[in-house]
Amino acid sequence: MTGVIEPGEYLEFVWAAYGLTVLGVGGLIAFILAERALASRHLKREEDEADK
């Protein structure tokens, strides 16, 4: 059973895949937060113009 669980020669590939996944998810989170802030600024500007 231990032969099935041992990563062997694929260990580098697995860690590279994990790293790329973390970078991808982190990038998506950063993009979403930036877009949210931008939308919030646009909404505030529109509300301020509507109040005038």
Q: What pLDDT, on the 0 to 100 scale, is given for residue 51?
A: 87
Nearest to 24, CA basis, from 14, 16, 35: 16
Look up the domain containing 30 and give its range. 24-52
Q: Is residue 37 part of a domain?
A: yes
Q: Is residue 5 part of a domain?
A: no
* pTM for this predicted structure: 0.72
Q: Is residue 18 part of a domain?
A: no
Q: Which residues lie below 8 Å from residue 14, measured CB to CB, with a gap of 6+? A: 7
Q: Is residue 36 part of a domain?
A: yes
Tell me the C-alpha to C-alpha distance, in Å, between residue 7 and each of 21, 22, 40. 19, 20, 46
Tell me the C-alpha to C-alpha distance, in Å, between residue 22 and each of 7, 8, 26, 32, 34. 20, 22, 6, 15, 18
Q: Is residue 16 part of a domain?
A: no
Total domains in the chain come to: 1
Tell me: pLDDT of 30 over 60. yes
2/21: higher pLDDT: 21
11/37: higher pLDDT: 37
Q: What pLDDT, on the 0 to 100 scale, is given for residue 52?
A: 78
Q: What pLDDT, on the 0 to 100 scale, is given for residue 4?
A: 66
9/3: higher pLDDT: 9
